[in-house]
Structure 1
Amino acid sequence: MRRSNFRDDWTAARTKACVSGNVHFHDLRHTGNTLASSTGASTRELMTRMGHSTTRAALIYQHMTSDRDQHIAGKLGEMVRQARKGSDPPPSGT
């Protein structure tokens, strides 16, 4: 692809993918890295994927999403349940 005809190629690709609205090519980069962040990728891993040399740039992609918040809450609940199991007194009669 050449820079001179990229806009036409991008518009055709969006149309073929049924993506409407004001979606820019750079939005793919942002979305991809936001999704990578939601999988649990570390800041260092995001920096490597993006080619960033500073944490500040990588942190842009570490948005809090509701599914990620639910995942964190679930893991915290699991940790609490495990800690309680370890501190429960033995059942009576043993």
Structure 2
Amino acid sequence: MNRSNFIEEVSKRSGIDKDELSEIFNIFLEVAIENIHNLSIRGFGKFQARIYKPKIYHDVVENKLKKSATRVRIAFVPSEKILRNLKKEIREYF
């Protein structure tokens, strides 16, 4: 399901106009992106920023030890309800 399908489905179920709903969804995404380092939505899951320390590696071209940059990765941890639904769908599929 892509963004437009999502907005269309929510519009059908709620009776809210698609344009208004699209604007609300855009605002939601802006706020979510601003707070993505630790965003938790009950019943859906949580996003966490995981920071990995720099590693030391050997550069064979310059024959030196170098330090890599600090890496930041965003991880999503689904809620128990979503996990149950996914497991149920996978069992039905296979």
Between Structure 1 and Structure 2, the one with more helix by share is 1
- Given the two structures, how large is their TM-score scaled by the length of structure 1? 0.23
Between Structure 1 and Structure 2, the one with more strand by share is 2
- Max radius of gyration: which structure? 1
- Given the two structures, how large is their TM-score scaled by the length of structure 2? 0.23
